A and B are shown apart, each in its own frame.
Chain A
Amino acid sequence: GNSVTQMEGPVTLSEEAFLTINCTYTATGYPSLFWYVQYPGEGLQLLLKATKADDKGSNKGFEATYRKETTSFHLEKGSVQVSDSAVYFCALRMEYGNKLVFGAGTILRVKS
């Protein structure tokens, strides 16, 4: 079946450090790919998305590129802030439905 694997956390960084959270997927077909963020006590917020190969999603300084050849969608940010501390989820959605398949989530902690 379709699945998403993302790096285990927690990831602890100092403010202004570079962030990478790895995400790979397995899917039969042509999924859309997403990164969601969850702050403590809240639901999920869409951070960015990409709907086809080589698309780059970006938002609030975060970026991810849909790489079909490596089945990856790694999240990056050049300079993290304390306010970026949250749980980040990589997810896919197949072209024929709205069901989201999520990775396990990666906790990010940014220290000042």
Chain B
Amino acid sequence: KAGVTQTPRYLIKTRGQQVTLSCSPISGHRSVSWYQQTPGQGLQFLFEYFSETQRNKGNFPGRFSGRQFSNSRSEMNVSTLELGDSALYLCASSRGGVGNEQFFGPGTRLTVL
């Protein structure tokens, strides 16, 4: 069974640009969560999508948004990039019920110059 895949793996952008990251969950999984990992703030929850609906949201500005498609693939978008958005963005998928184990992808490394 294929694991969680994230594309692209590496990305370099400049301040002010926007970026879209993609996450394909494990087949049969309906929930996708996104996390930001930085050296200063550690791992922080961004949002969770389940059946194309945002089910939970972390404490990030509105520049961070996401969506989920009918095949459970998810994208997150960051607009008006800032230097502080440089991070490893991880997505995790699960079957969808509360308490199901989450499986993490390898992450997308975003560098903002």
- At the interface with chain B, which of A20-28, A74-82, A91-99? A91-99
Q: Please determine whether A97 and B43 come into contact, CB atoms closer than 8 angstroms.
A: no
Give the total of B residues in contact with A, Cβ under 8 Å.
25
Binary interface encoding of chain A residues 43-77 relative to chain B, with 1 for a CB under 8 A from any of its CBs, else 0? 11110010100000000000000000000000000
Contacts of B4 in A (CB 8 A): 43
**Alpha-carbon distance A47/B63, docked complex (angstroms):** 33
Question: CB within 8 A of A102: which of B43, B105, B106?
Answer: B43
Main secondary structure of the interface of B (DSSP, over half): strand
Q: Is the CB–CB distance between B45 and A95 below 8 Å?
A: no
- Is there contact, CB below 8 Å, between A46 and B98? no
Contacts of A32 in B (CB 8 A): 99
Interface pairs (30), CB distance under 8 Å = A32-B99, A36-B104, A41-B106, A42-B107, A43-B105, A43-B107, A44-B92, A46-B102, A46-B103, A89-B43, A91-B43, A93-B99, A96-B98, A97-B56, A98-B33, A98-B56, A98-B98, A98-B100, A98-B102, A99-B33, A99-B45, A99-B56, A100-B35, A100-B43, A100-B45, A100-B92, A101-B45, A102-B42, A102-B43, A105-B42
